[in-house]
Structure 1
Amino acid sequence: MKGQTKEELLEFINNWGDVTLAKTLEIKFIDVDIENETLTATMPVLPRVHQPFGILHGGASCVLAETLGSSLSNIFIDGTKYYGVGTNINSNHLKSKKDGIVTATARFIRKGKTMHVSEIEIRDEKGQLINHTTMTNNIINR
């Protein structure tokens, strides 16, 4: 997806696929920094993403993190030749969240030819760290 503007990339990834888990959870990509290779998205914390105790389900945080990590890899490779596919995720849930919006930002820790490792931080409206995730993607031929 090289050669596209920030706005074109955001438009593309916000409309990627018809019915996806990211759309079901209302994940919205809000920023892509082409120079620093980061990607940012938001997700509302509503009862549908709660666990039984009324707080953000760790699985929903993992979905947000994996959505960002996978998308980060896929927008910074030649999509006509390769796919970035998730192979490992390690997620630490650090603080609970009942409502509002969380914002996640993904960045590369390592960006190789066949493997990407990314770090995803999920924060609340006050900037407090809710979740820290690392994710590995293998870059495979189409």
Structure 2
Amino acid sequence: MKGTKGEILDFLNNWGKDTMAKTIEIKFTDVDLDKETLTATMPVQPKVHQPFGILHGGASCVLAETLGSCLSNIFIDGDLYYGVGTNINSNHLRSKKAGMVTGTARFIRKGKTMHVSEIEIRDEKGELINHTTMTNNILKK
């Protein structure tokens, strides 16, 4: 995707009206075009809890997959290609009841037909809540 940091964040935050990311209030907050990273936040509130009142692992996976997929799609030529997730491996390391989590995605490998990314989700204190790796296939339109 071409554009400035602000243009990319504006696009991502307004992409898709009734999507899962909007439902759980994921907000993209930073993209580093040089380091090729993407960051987003998600509030931890009852709608992302599991029955024990803590952050649902599936919500963490949604944040991670949203970041990993968007990371791939903003660093390819979107006129010719699109990236789709094919594998996700997520480790839930700490529980979280309330507040905000921040996820940052970075490439482990960025090939022409496959991207592998790492996503770290941390709380306000910097504690690692979740570590995810994700694979995207890069397909021709």
After TM superposition, the runs of 4+ consecutive aligned structure 1 residues lying more than 2 A away are: none
User: What secondary structure does 1:130 align onto?
Assistant: strand
Matches within 5 A, 1:1-142: 1-2=1-2, 4-142=3-141
Q: Which amino acid aligns with 1:123?
A: R
Structure 2: distance between partners of 1:112 and 1:80: 18
User: What secondary structure does 1:51 align onto?
Assistant: coil
Q: TM-score, normalised by structure 1?
A: 0.99
User: 1:18, CA displacement in angstroms?
Assistant: 1.5
Q: Which amino acid aligns with 2:101?
A: V
Structure 2: distance between partners of 1:19 and 1:32: 23
User: What secondary structure does 1:103 align onto?
Assistant: strand
Number of residue-to-residue matches in the alignment: 141
User: What secondary structure does 1:79 align onto?
Assistant: coil
User: 1:17, CA displacement in angstroms?
Assistant: 1.1
Q: Which amino acid aligns with 1:106?
A: A
Structure 1: distance between partners of 2:108 and 2:13: 24
User: What secondary structure does 2:130 align onto?
Assistant: strand
Q: What fraction of aligned residue pairs are identical, expressed as a percent?
A: 82
- After TM superposition, the structure 1 stretch with the greater mean CA deviation from structure 2, 103-112 or 11-20, is 11-20
Structure 1: distance between partners of 2:51 and 2:16: 30
Q: Which amino acid aligns with 1:19?
A: D
Q: Which amino acid aligns with 2:70?
A: S
Structure 2: distance between partners of 1:121 and 1:93: 10
Residue by residue over 1:113-139, the C-alpha shift from the partner in whole angstroms, topping out at 9 and shown as x without a partner, is 000000000000000000000000000
Structure 2: distance between partners of 1:64 and 1:14: 13
Q: Which amino acid aligns with 1:129?
A: L
Q: Which runs of 5+ in 2 are unaligned?
A: none
